[in-house]
Every structure is written in C-alpha cells, then in structure tokens.
C-alpha cells in the first residue's frame, strides 16, 4: 500500500488506460483522472500537492492560455487542414483519382495495387485524413480488386497501408500536432541544458560563458523532415507490389479494360493536375519559405474550395479558372511591386501595382464565392445535406474533438508531473541498459504497444510530453541535445503509422472492415497487413540507423 501511495503517478497512468479501453470519452477521461488523482495527491501529501491544497493546478490556467496565445499560430492550421481534407473527400477527387489510375495501370500485372499506393500517396499529401482515405479506397478499389481475383490479403493490406500514409506524408494533421508538442518539449530541454552548462562554467570561474542560442523547431522543419522517409516508404510499398506480381502472379492478375473505358493522356492529366497543383501550393509554399504552415493550410483550404466548385459544375469552370489566374497574377505582381499598404509613403508606381493586385484578388474572391455557392447547392449522396454544411459540421466536430482532448490532456500531464511522474519516467528510462539509445528504443516500444489501444491524439498529447523530456535531456559531446528533435518527431510519426496497421486493434483495420464486403473475412485483413507492418518496422530501423534521412532536407531547405 505504501508503494502505491508513493507511486501514484504510475497508478494514474494505468487508470487512464483502463478507462480509455472501456470506451469512456477521451477528453473527459484524461481531465477526470487528472483531477481525481490531484485530490488523492492532496490527501496523501505527495509531490507538489504536499502543501495540502490544489494550488499546484494554478499552472493549468497558464497552460491553456499559453495554447491560445496570439503568438502561437501553429494549432490554427489544424481546422484548416481538416477542412481541406474533408472538402476534397466530399468533392469526389479521391474517387476519380482511383478510378482513372486503376484503368491506366490495371492492364499491367500488379498495376492495380501500384495505383492504390500511388493514389494513397497523393491523398495523403492533399487530405492527410487516414479514416477518410481508407474508407474511400475501400469502397472504390476493394470491390474492383476482388472482382479481378486479386488476393484478398494483398488487396486489403495495400488499401489499409496506403490509407495510413496520411500519418507521415505532409501536410499531416498528426505532424502539425506532434510538431507543436515536440517544439515545446525540445525548447524546454535545451533551456535546462543551457542552464546546467552555465552553472558549471560559473562554478569554474568562467563568468563570460554564454550558451548557444536555442534554435527553435517548427512544424515546417518536421514537414520537410518527413518528406524523404515518407517517399521511401511509398517506394518500398511499390517494390513489394512488384515482387508479389513477379513471384506470386496469381495474387496480382492483369485486368482487361475494355477499349471504350481506357483512359488517354489528357484524361490522366485532367485528374492528376488539380491535386498535384494543390500539393505544390501547400507544401511548396512551406518548403520555399514563402508561407508558414498555418498560412499554407489557408491556401490549401481555399484551393480545396475552388477544386470542389469546379467538380460540382464542370460545364462552367470559368469562375475557378479566373480565380486561378487571379492567384498567379497577384504572385507575379509581388515580383515587380512592393504591395505593402501599411506604409507612411507609397510610391505612385507601387500604388498602381496595389490597385492591379487588388483586381486580381477580386477575381479570386469571385471564384471562391461561386465555389461556395455550388457547394451549398450540391447535396451529399450519403447524408443528403448540402456539401458545404456537411463539410463545415464535420470540420467543427473533428476540430472540437482535437482541442477538447488537448485541454483534458493538459490537466492530466500537469497532475502527472506534480506527482513526480517526470522524475519516475526519467529514472526508469535512464536506468535501462544501452544508455540514451536504450531509452530511445524503450520509448518507441512503449508507443508502439500503446498504439494498439490508444488513438494517436492520446499518444501525442499524453505520452509524448512524458517521454520526450527524457530523450531531449541527453547531451552530445558539444553540450547540445543528442537526439535531433526533427528525427525524434519523424520516428514517432512512423511509429504511430505502424500502430494504425497492427492487428488486432489497428484503427485502419476497423475502417476497412466497416466497408469491406462480407466475402472478406477479418482474418484476411489481418494477414494482408502483416507484410506491410514488417515493412513499417523495417522503415523504423532504417530511419533509426540513418537519422540524416529526416534531418538532411530541413537543413538544406531552411538553413
């Protein structure tokens, strides 16, 4: 009993997992368990609650207002990316992509599987919503693959694995949330290391010592860091499809596409250009340093509205074409004129440029209004609601879920640390054999196992703030943080993606099971994803062995 009293933080973590497994709402479970154990801590006189009151929880207000601080714009990207993904999904961009690429590659052995992976990559880079991608591909591609005698396991595994690429390929909502969390923990850890270095220097009489300034980590850094590992993963998926087509031909038969249904180059370009243009606009603006992730998310949301408007009335695409021309024109004007209007003096030439740019912006506004009107008039086939209203409601629900969980997790984390949880975790991990790398392996293993039962939001909001400070407390020979924060974030992202696929509780498996026909057994889905889980684990070891895969591109792009 005494051991339990002195280790309330461990009991608290186990209690939270048990309540979550019983299906209680995540946000209220985290907040309720946090408040309950804070009261128990006051009763037992443990940790920062030894004073006999809940005064330690006053920091909770600071945490919440810190998230809403006007300087913290990162989380604003979350609802914008969600809106972009839902709007693209409702406008049938994904369905048209799958059908066209299936007809294009289906005449090659294994081509339909390759098209699923390719489309999964494009959808990941344009929507970033795992559930919507898996369901869409399951509804459209799975019946086709089964119709042409594809192996049930290979078909299910390809769809589930490709659908989870939205976890690691930017602009992923997981990476946005993970980036904000990792950035805060890394900055705090770096400050602690600098404080220790300065105290050591002063103890030696070196009062002129000044630690190196902290180089903050942004979501853009993590987006860039995830690009190469994500593309390598796509490449390995495709190699597996090719290997199955060569060594097990019966698993990937050739599809006979009637002459009248075959697609030509123009049709392929018409389907590919819009999503690729949107991807370039969003990711390109971030990697080129033109826009922050939040600004790029707004660009993506506007682009999704325009694409949807064109899809809903293909006979009259001119408002959207004019909007695209307006965007291009405004960008060109920025190259020749200073368009800043908040100035004391504006040159007459620049004033003319400002008026012309305003005209281009007017064209964009016309395209957006036309697209919104079309989305309001178009009714969703599934719900019967106007598409715009359905998209707004879905975006609001998902956004509220994310932020309510975030608020509940803050109370849970604060109580956990108040009960001495951070010190306990530090002792457990630093006491493992293998030193820093042993601790890194243990953290990855814990997240992998928890991914069987918990959603990525619980892991990012609860587990990462507990584990990350330990990883960032290790110093290298130069006194810096041993593990690069971008590499740690990408490792966690790939790990969480793996947990989405792992039987028996992988969320992607449940999504696919919900839309798969009755002829597909659950065991077929489990068998099909196992090779892809092995590929994912192999990718973790590759990334762990070569951290430069995650750190090289951010250094090149942003330095």
* pLDDT at res. 237: 93
Instruction: Mean pLDDT check: name the lowest of 88-97, 158-167, 369-378, 413-422.
Output: 88-97
The H-or-E segment that residue 515 falls in is helix 507-515
Are 283 and 223 in contact by the 8 Å Cβ rule? The answer is yes
What percent of the chain stands above pLDDT 90?
A: 10
- Is residue 257's pLDDT more than 70? no
- Band of residue 556 on the pLDDT scale cut at 50, 70, 90: confident
Q: What is the DSSP code string of 308-368?
A: HHHHHTTT--HHHHHHHHHHHHHHHHHHHS-----SS---HHHHHHHHHHHHHHHHHHHHH
What SS3 class is residue 264? coil
Q: What pLDDT digit, counting tens, does each position of 297-333 carry?
A: 888 888 889 888 888 887 888 888 898 888 888 878 8
pLDDT, average across residues 549-556:
88
**Distance, CA of 176 to CA of 468 (rounded, Å):** 16
**Distance, CA of 467 to CA of 449 (rounded, Å):** 14
**Distance, CA of 249 to CA of 244 (rounded, Å):** 7
Burial environment of residue 206 by CB neighbours within 10 A (0 to 12, 13 to 18, 19 or more): exposed
Distance from chain centroid for Cα 514: 23
Q: What pLDDT digit, counting tens, does each position of 461-512 carry?
A: 778 888 888 888 887 766 667 888 899 999 998 988 887 788 776 777 877 8
Q: What share of the chain is helix, strand, coil (3-state, %, to 5)?
A: 75, 0, 25
Q: What pLDDT digit, counting tens, does each position of 172-185 carry?
A: 778 888 888 888 88
pLDDT, average across residues 414-419:
82
Q: What pLDDT digit, counting tens, does each position of 184-243 carry?
A: 888 887 787 778 777 777 877 777 767 777 777 888 889 889 999 999 999 999 999 999
Compute φ and ψ for 255, nearest 5 degrees: -100, 130
Q: What pLDDT digit, counting tens, does each position of 40-93 carry?
A: 888 877 766 777 677 777 777 777 776 666 556 777 888 888 888 788 878 777
In the numeric block, which tokens belong to residue 390? 């359905």
Overall pTM surpassing 0.85 (yes/no): no
List of residues 6+ apart from 110 with CB closer than 8 A: 241, 242, 244, 245, 252
* pLDDT at res. 235: 93
* pLDDT at res. 408: 85
What is the pLDDT of the chain when averaged over all its residues? 81
Burial environment of residue 510 by CB neighbours within 10 A (0 to 12, 13 to 18, 19 or more): middle
In the numeric block, which tokens belong to residue 77? 């990207």
What SS3 class is residue 475? strand
Q: What pLDDT digit, counting tens, does each position of 26-40 carry?
A: 788 888 888 888 888
* pLDDT at res. 477: 67
pLDDT, average across residues 514-522:
81
* pLDDT at res. 72: 64
pLDDT, average across residues 151-176:
85
What are the CA-CA distances from residue 158 to residues 28, 116, 440, 521 (Å)? 36, 7, 30, 16
Q: What pLDDT digit, counting tens, does each position of 356-409 carry?
A: 999 999 999 999 999 999 988 888 777 778 889 988 998 888 888 878 888 888
In the numeric block, which tokens belong to residue 68? 């809403």
- Band of residue 131 on the pLDDT scale cut at 50, 70, 90: low
| Beta-bridge mates of residue 525 | none
Q: What pLDDT digit, counting tens, does each position of 280-294 carry?
A: 888 887 777 777 788
- Is residue 139's pLDDT more than 80? no
- Band of residue 543 on the pLDDT scale cut at 50, 70, 90: very high
In the numeric block, which tokens belong to residue 454? 């918990």
**Distance, CA of 81 to CA of 399 (rounded, Å):** 10
- Is residue 426's pLDDT more than 70? yes
- Is residue 256's pLDDT more than 80? no
């Amino acid at each position: 009993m005494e051991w339990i009293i002195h280790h309330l933080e461990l009991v608290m973590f186990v209690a939270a997992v048990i309540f979550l497994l019983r299906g209680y709402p995540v946000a209220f479970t985290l907040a309720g368990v946090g408040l309950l154990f804070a009261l128990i801590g006051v009763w037992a006189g443990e940790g920062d609650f030894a004073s006999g009151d809940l005064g330690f929880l006053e920091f909770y207000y600071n945490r919440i207002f810190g998230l809403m601080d006007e300087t913290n714009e990162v989380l604003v990207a979350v609802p914008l990316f969600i809106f972009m993904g839902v709007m693209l999904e409702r406008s049938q961009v994904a369905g048209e992509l799958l059908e066209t690429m299936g007809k294009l590659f289906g005449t090659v052995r294994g081509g339909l599987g390759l098209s699923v992976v390719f489309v999964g990559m494009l959808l990941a880079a344009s929507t970033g919503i795992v559930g919507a991608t898996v369901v869409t591909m399951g509804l459209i591609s799975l019946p086709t693959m089964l119709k042409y005698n594809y192996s049930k396991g290979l078909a299910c595994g390809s769809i589930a694995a490709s659908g989870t690429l939205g976890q690691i390929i930017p602009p992923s909502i997981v990476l946005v949330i993970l980036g904000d969390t990792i950035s805060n923990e890394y900055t705090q850890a770096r400050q602690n290391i600098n404080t220790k270095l300065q105290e050591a220097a002063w103890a030696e009489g070196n009062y002129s010592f000044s630690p190196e300034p902290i180089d903050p980590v942004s979501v853009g850094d993590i987006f860039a860091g995830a690009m190469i590992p994500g593309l390598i993963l796509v490449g390995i998926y495709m190699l597996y499809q090719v290997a199955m087509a060569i060594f097990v031909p019966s698993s990937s038969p050739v599809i006979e596409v009637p002459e009248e249904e075959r697609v030509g180059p123009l049709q392929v370009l018409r389907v590919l250009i819009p999503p690729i243009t949107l991807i370039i606009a969003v990711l390109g603006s971030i990697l080129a340093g033109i826009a922050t992730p939040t600004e790029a998310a707004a660009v993506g949301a506007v682009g999704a509205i325009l694409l949807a408007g064109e899809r809903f009335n293909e006979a009259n695409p001119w408002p959207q074409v004019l909007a695209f021309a307006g965007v291009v024109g405004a960008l060109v004007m920025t190259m020749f004129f200073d368009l800043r209007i908040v100035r004391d003096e504006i040159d007459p030439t620049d004033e003319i440029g400002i008026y012309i740019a305003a005209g281009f912006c007017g064209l964009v506004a016309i395209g957006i209004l036309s697209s919104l009107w079309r989305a309001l008039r178009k009714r969703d086939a599934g719900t019967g609601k106007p598409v715009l209203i359905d998209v707004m409601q879905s975006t609001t629900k998902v956004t509220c879920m994310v932020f309510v969980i975030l608020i509940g997790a803050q109370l849970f984390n604060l109580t956990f640390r108040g009960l001495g949880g951070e010190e306990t975790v530090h002792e457990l991990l630093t006491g493992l054999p293998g030193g820093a790398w042993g601790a890194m392996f243990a953290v990855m293993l814990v997240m992998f196992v928890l991914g069987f039962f918990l959603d990525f939001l619980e892991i990012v909001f609860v587990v990462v703030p507990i584990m990350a400070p330990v990883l960032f407390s290790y110093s290298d020979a130069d006194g810096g943080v041993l593990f690069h924060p971008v590499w740690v974030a990408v490792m966690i992202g790939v790990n969480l993606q793996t947990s989405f696929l792992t039987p028996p509780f992988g969320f992607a498996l449940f999504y696919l099971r919900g839309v798969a026909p009755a002829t597909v057994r659950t065991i077929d889905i489990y068998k099909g994803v196992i090779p892809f889980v092995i590929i994912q684990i192999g990718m973790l070891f590759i990334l762990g062995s070569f951290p430069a895969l995650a750190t090289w591109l951010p250094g090149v792009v942003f330095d």
